[in-house]
Amino acid sequence: MNPGLIELKEVAKYYHMGESIVKAVDGMNIKVHDGDFVAIMGSSGSGKSTAMNLVGSLDLATKGDIYLDGINIETLDESDLAQIRGKKIGFIFQQFNLIPNLTAKENVMLPMMFQGVSADDRSSRAEKLLKLVELSDRMDHYPGQLSGGEQQRVAIARALANDPDVILADEPTGNLDTKTGEKVMAFLEDFNKKGKTIIMVTHDPKLAHEHAKIIYQIKDGKVERKLKKVNKKWKPFR
Amino acid sequence: MIKDYIILAFRNLKRRGLRSYLTLLGIFIGIAVVVALIGLGDGLRMAVNSQFGVSTTQVLTVQAGGLSGYGLPGTGVVNSLTKDDVTAIEKISGVEIAIPRNIETVKVEFNKKLIVGYAASLPKGEDREAIYETLDLTIQYGQNLKDSDTFMVVLGNDFSQKEKSGFDKAVKVGDKLIIQGKEFRVAGMMEKKGSFILDRVILMDEDELRSITTNDENVDIIAVKVRNKDDIEKVKSDIENLLRERRNVKKGEEDFQVSTPQAMLTTVNQVLLGVQIFIVIIALISIIVGAIGIVNTMTTSVLERKKEIGIMKAIGARNSDIFLQFLIEAGLLGLLGGFLGIIFGSLISYLGVNGINSFIGSTIRPKIDFMLIGFSLLGSFLVGAVSGLTPAMRAARLRPVEVLRQ
């Protein structure tokens, strides 16, 4: 069977809250293939944020295995994992999470710096990416000088900096108005058409149904339902 | 790569603005004090050394009554040295010449003004040359006294300046001075020596000096030139033995003193060194306080920037990237403090040395010590970096998910 780009096998994540143990994720199986547009959907408290951290290999599982490009991330040390993550996955956060004292362009250049890309290449690629998200005229602005939609587009450009296989978007439209949100989603769909794998975490069924091709519905730390869009119709799959 | 970190670090320091400056205050003060002190100390030492007007290490000074803090050397002493002492000293092996010298307080009149100055005697013949040589006297205007000159004087440099002469008028070669009621003509004036002793001296023939003062056979100072400068300590103890015998005093109860210029300087320098060490300790305390300030600021900064650290890790920063980032930032804080400290300290030392110069009339030039600057910069960077070590390690160990969740 074709190994997934990202695969969670019987993954569990427990948190200790004083005496009690919170089972944020408990026995979750997710498999993401190259070129997918996956939505991880669930209400707050369902464990979807924890799931996103695990999928993005930002966190290690308490039980089970997480594979990134066929490698069990458990076997990597933190720095190697950071390197692979920086190369393979581009993150888009709900809060944009740009570095406030760097300009838009410098923010986009940052992930490339951690991969050891030369300053000249970083600069020209950042300019190209900002042009792609239609922010050529905002390159030297600081995040504080940009609107929410503009900041999220900078974040998208940053996510694309190292030409990752996967873009992981956590509520990408959560802090945006409908119109700007649609614009951001249009970018994501466009990238997906160009071959990038998109994983989107959202609480919004409408957003998931409208844009994604596969939906993992999360409840109580488990995958409750797996749906796949076939001929514009959602069908469960195994 | 390092360059990028430095740029980033500068941005972060700038972002914290006033807080950054307050943090580097401790390092700044410490380094400023050290730099100022070393510059000033060197200047002060040179100034003190030049006050003794010593250019040769081959000359011993013998005087009665021990080192007196006040008045002219050898004056006011009950049991004075005599010409016979001079003859006896000259017979000691290793002594090239022993020159008796008198220094007397004299009344000097010029431009209808009367001042009290002091006159020092010059011996005749070869001895005179030896005195010129040992004191390293150079004539700026006119010429040196010759044996054939009668009632002529050579003056220290202060007299050639209107403000410093004491007469409200500069004295020139050929001018006439009334010294102790007797008329003398100025034969020459010396170059500035930067020594209050030598710049105000009136040099005249020993017999003429004796004739205008009440002094008879007494000798105030005996300048002894040794043949070989390595023998100076041996000659010194020989002279001491001789004088003990002649003056009938026991060891430890001497009513005279034989001093080498080096010994005088050593005493002064030891005192200066003591003061310097004391202030350097204070400066070190300031640097330690500064280092604690950096630890504090960096720790706070790590806490404040937890989220930023998380973001950087999420987008591919390794632990070492984060560690380096914070370490360089702390090092730069120290370096910046050191840099400003060096500028400020150099300024203080420059102004201080100029102050010394104008106060005692010396001509010391402030010294720029590149070694000192280099070590100060390196040292302050290291202090900063070492202070930043723990906070940087804390930052590097943060897990991205823990900080992103906030």
- DSSP per position, chain A: -PPPSEEEEEEEEEEEETTEEEEEEEEEEEEE-TT-EEEEE--TTSSHHHHHHHHTTSS--SEEEEEETTEEGGGS-HHHHHHHHHHHEEEE-TT----TTS-HHHHHHHHHHHTT--HHHHHHHHHHHHHHTT-GGGTT--GGGS-HHHHHHHHHHHHTTT--SEEEEESTTTTS-HHHHHHHHHHHHHHHHTT-EEEEEES-HHHHHHH-SEEEEEETTEEEEEEEEETTEEEE--
Nearest Cα residue to B268 out of B63, B44, B33: B44
Q: What is the pLDDT of residue B366?
A: 67
Q: Please judge whether A83 and B316 are an interchain contact, meaning their C-beta atoms are less than 8 angstroms apart.
A: yes
Check CB contact of A162 with chain B, cutoff 8 Å.
yes
Check CB contact of A102 with chain B, cutoff 8 Å.
yes
Residues of B in contact with A111 (CB under 8 A): 315-316
Give A114 to chain B, closest Cα distance, Å. Answer: 5
Q: Please judge whether B1 and A58 are an interchain contact, meaning their C-beta atoms are less than 8 angstroms apart.
A: no
* Phi, psi angle pair for B388, to nearest 5°: -85, -5
Q: What is the pLDDT of residue A123?
A: 92
State yes or no: pLDDT of B68 exceeds 50: no
Residues of A in contact with B319 (CB under 8 A): 78-79, 82
Q: What is the DSSP string of A169-216?
A: EESTTTTS-HHHHHHHHHHHHHHHHTT-EEEEEES-HHHHHHH-SEEE
State yes or no: pLDDT of B66 exceeds 50: no
Residues of B in contact with A79 (CB under 8 A): 318-320
Q: Please judge whether B311 and A97 are an interchain contact, meaning their C-beta atoms are less than 8 angstroms apart.
A: yes
pLDDT, tens digit, for every residue of A87-123? 888 988 888 889 888 899 999 999 999 888 888 999 9
Which token pair is B18? 């006033």
Q: Please judge whether A87 and B316 are an interchain contact, meaning their C-beta atoms are less than 8 angstroms apart.
A: yes
Of the residues B315, B322, B393, the best mutation for testing chain A's interface (the one with the most A CB atoms within 10 Å of its CB) is B315
Start-to-end C-alpha separation, chain B: 30
Q: Please judge whether A99 and B308 are an interchain contact, meaning their C-beta atoms are less than 8 angstroms apart.
A: yes
Q: Please judge whether A101 and B12 are an interchain contact, meaning their C-beta atoms are less than 8 angstroms apart.
A: yes
CA distance B351 to A225: 81
Interface of B with A (CB under 8 A): 1, 3-4, 8, 11-12, 14-15, 307-308, 311-321, 399-401, 404-405
pLDDT, tens digit, for every residue of B9-34? 888 888 778 888 888 888 888 888 88
Which among A49, A110, A116 is the nearest to B315, CB-wise? A110
Q: Please judge whether B312 and A99 are an interchain contact, meaning their C-beta atoms are less than 8 angstroms apart.
A: yes
- Sign of the Cα torsion B300, A86, A54, A44 reads positive
Report, in this order, helix, strand and coil percent for chain B, each rounded to 5.
Answer: 55, 15, 25
CA distance B360 to B90: 35
Q: What is the pLDDT of residue B228?
A: 80
Check CB contact of A72 with chain B, cutoff 8 Å.
no
Q: For each of the domains in chain B, give its residue range(s) and CATH number, in order of start.
A: 2-51+265-404 (no CATH), 58-102+215-259 (3.30.70), 114-119+128-204 (no CATH)
Residues of A in contact with B399 (CB under 8 A): 59
State yes or no: pLDDT of B284 exceeds 70: yes
Q: Please judge whether A58 and B321 are an interchain contact, meaning their C-beta atoms are less than 8 angstroms apart.
A: no
Average pLDDT, chain B: 81
Residues of B in contact with A49 (CB under 8 A): 405
Residues of A in contact with B8 (CB under 8 A): 102
pLDDT, tens digit, for every residue of B244-258? 888 888 887 778 888
Domain boundaries, chain A: 33-58+77-236
pTM greater than 0.95 (yes/no) = no
Contact residues, A window 200-219, toward B, CB-based 8 Å cutoff: none
State yes or no: pLDDT of B354 exceeds 90: no
pLDDT-above-70 percentage for chain B: 87
Mean pLDDT calculated for residue range B162-173 = 85
Q: Please judge whether B316 and A162 are an interchain contact, meaning their C-beta atoms are less than 8 angstroms apart.
A: yes
Q: What is the pLDDT of residue B69?
A: 45
**Does ipTM exceed 0.95?**
no
Indicate the CATH number for domain A33-58+77-236.
3.40.50.300
Q: What is the DSSP string of B175-201?
A: -EEEETTEEEEEEEEEPP-S-TTGGGE
Give B318 to chain A, closest Cα distance, Å. Answer: 5
Residues of A in contact with B4 (CB under 8 A): 113, 119
* Phi, psi angle pair for B57, to nearest 5°: -100, 15
Q: What is the pLDDT of residue B185?
A: 92
